[in-house]
Amino acid sequence: MLEEKGILKVSSSFLARSMNLTASQVRQDFCNFGEFGQQGYGYDVIRLKNEILKILGLTKRYSVIILGAGNIGRALAGYGGFLRDGFEVKAVFDEKSDIELENGLPLLSMDSLQEYVKQEKPDIAVIAVPGQSAYEVAKKAVDFGIKSLWNFAPIDLKFDGVCVENIFMSDSLYVLAYKMNH
């Protein structure tokens, strides 16, 4: 955002203010990854952005498949925003492969998953199936060679040597309810 506004430098105290942190926290955290500031000046916005992109691994591109063409699966497939960050959705898989997708993405049968993963080697599989089938589907994907899962099902997936990030939406809703009552 700073880059878009044409702002060239930024201080730890400014960053802290805009993210509800302390300046110390910001500097300590950056320092863990190197020294990319300059005393008396602050951080160069472009440099800082690039360093953070490097740290996060967002300088690469990632190919993504979505498992499940229900509400969430279709919503993610339809949302183009991730592409900007380098995540490209390549295909959607579902048991019922006759559902129509609105955006020209291939909708494939779950039966063709093994073949697809073997050939295309997608980087990330999104688990967008109902909770009951989530483990089974994730297990398949992992067995076929997927090394990274973005999980929207409300279960704790865990496989050796596989990266998992969870979006536990109902947990978040529970936290909202808690906040409303305290």
Task: List residues near a second copy by CB under 8 A.
Answer: 19, 55-58, 60, 62, 71-72, 74-76, 78-79, 81-82, 85, 87, 123-124, 147-148, 150, 156, 163-167, 169-170, 172-181
- State residue 150 phi and psi, 5-degree precision: -110, 110
Q: For a second copy, give the closer residue by CB, 38 or 80.
A: 80
Compute the Cα dihedral for 140, 145, 147, 149 and give only its sign: negative
Helices 23-31 and 12-19, axial angle in degrees (round to 10): 110
Q: Tell me the closest approach of the beta carbon of residue 92 to a second copy, in angstroms.
A: 13
Q: Tell me the closest approach of the beta carbon of residue 8 to DNA, in angstroms.
A: 12
Residue 39 binds which entry of a second copy, DNA, none, with Cβ cut-offs from 5 to 8 Å by kind? DNA
Supply the DSSP string of 119-149, one letter for each residue.
HH--SEEEE-S-HHHHHHHHHHHHHHT--EE
Q: Tell me the closest approach of the beta carbon of residue 23 to a second copy, in angstroms.
A: 18
Cα–Cα nearest to 91, from 81, 82, 76: 76
Q: Tell me the closest approach of the beta carbon of residue 33 to DNA, in angstroms.
A: 10
